[in-house]
């Protein structure tokens, strides 16, 4: 489970992106995931500000997200019993 929070501006309410913490514990070592069209270069310098007006930001709508996983294919096989070989004629013959 990953902890995700919206990076929202105090001044204009613009959501610059999301903070994602893969551990799901805290945002201490979280990484910034910029929203579409948001330049993440100011974040590289260490200061996270609003991408629109440069105002202070806070974390809003903190929630847990499941990491994206490939679809699990469930093999339907009965364990411990070998498949019984059926005669080839079954199903092909018709009465009448
Ligand atoms: Zn702003």
**pLDDT, tens digit, 9 for 90 and up, residues 46-87:** 678 898 999 999 999 999 987 677 777 777 767 776 667 777
- Cα(first)–Cα(last) distance of the chain, in Å? 62
Write down the pLDDT at residue 43: 61
In the reported structure, the alpha carbon of residue 55 is separated from the centroid of ligand 1 by a whole-number distance in angstroms of 5
pTM over 0.85: no
Per residue in 1-57, pLDDT (tens digit) is 889 999 999 999 999 999 998 877 788 888 889 998 887 665 656 678 898 999 999
Cα–Cα nearest to 13, from 42, 43, 53, 64: 53
- Strand 31-34 to 57-65 pairing: unpaired
Cα–Cα nearest to 21, from 29, 9, 33: 29
In the reported structure, the alpha carbon of residue 31 is separated from the centroid of ligand 1 by a whole-number distance in angstroms of 20
In the reported structure, the alpha carbon of residue 83 is separated from the centroid of ligand 1 by a whole-number distance in angstroms of 65
Strand partners, 58: 8
In the reported structure, the alpha carbon of residue 12 is separated from the centroid of ligand 1 by a whole-number distance in angstroms of 4
Near ion ligand 1, which residues have CB within 5 Å?
9, 11-12, 14, 50, 52-53, 55
In the reported structure, the alpha carbon of residue 8 is separated from the centroid of ligand 1 by a whole-number distance in angstroms of 8
Rounded-to-integer distance, Cα 56 and Cα 14, Å: 11
Rounded-to-integer distance, Cα 78 and Cα 85, Å: 15
Q: Tell me how long the chain is.
A: 96
Residues 6+ apart with CB under 8 A from 65: 1, 2, 3, 4, 20
């Amino acid at each position: 489970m990953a902890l995700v929070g919206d990076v929202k501006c105090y001044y204009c309410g613009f959501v610059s992106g999301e903070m994602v913490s893969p551990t799901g514990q805290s945002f201490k070592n979280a990484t910034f995931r910029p929203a579409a069209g948001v330049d993440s270069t100011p974040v590289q310098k260490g200061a996270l500000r609003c991408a629109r007006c440069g105002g202070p930001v806070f974390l809003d709508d903190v929630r847990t997200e499941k990491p994206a996983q490939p679809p699990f294919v469930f093999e339907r096989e009965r364990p411990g019993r070998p498949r019984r070989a059926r005669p080839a004629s079954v199903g092909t013959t018709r009465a009448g």
